[in-house]
Homo-oligomer: A and B are copies of this chain.
Amino acid sequence: MKLSTKGQYGVRAMFELALQHGRGPVSLKLVAERQDISEHYLEQIIALLRKAGLVNSIRGAQGGYVLAREPGEISVGDIIRVLEGPVAPVECVNDDTSDRCMRAEQCVSKMVWAKVKNSIEQVIDSITLADMCEEAEKARFEQGSFMYHI
């Protein structure tokens, strides 16, 4: 049940863009620096997010990336699905797959995976970048005490 760095980096990069939202394009260099991610690797990740329509790019000097929608309109789930594929823990509970379940016993395990899938989706689809920004703002005021009550 692991997330690859692609998903992690992607969320962190998008969060960084959300923090700067409304203040013009942000260069990848800055994002990579602030989030401590290899710039070149991040380039490949953000290319996927661009193709998926979650960010827009501005080329040339002083260019960079901006969120394609408001931070409140982009959820963690949107980002993860682009970078990691569908959240189904096993293939057979994936909506895209027309995979038939052959026996009743398998159905029972399938039900377990479906429950896992739903609970994950409920979490990641309910948290938007705006929520994360708000949380960060809150943390800033609480002066680090935040770290102790995650």
Contacts and interface: CB of A to CB of B under 8 A. Distances in A.
A101 interface: yes
Interface residues of A, number: 47
A65 interface: no
A13 B88 CA distance: 21
Interface stretch (A39-47, A48-56, A115-123): A115-123
B84 A111 contact: no
Contacts of A147: 101, 104, 107
A34 to B, nearest CB: 8
Nearest to A147: B107
Contact of A89 (B2, B106, B110, B111): B2
Q: Across chains A and B, which 4 residue pairs bring their CB atoms closest together, nearest first? A: A119-B119, A3-B89, A1-B87, A108-B136
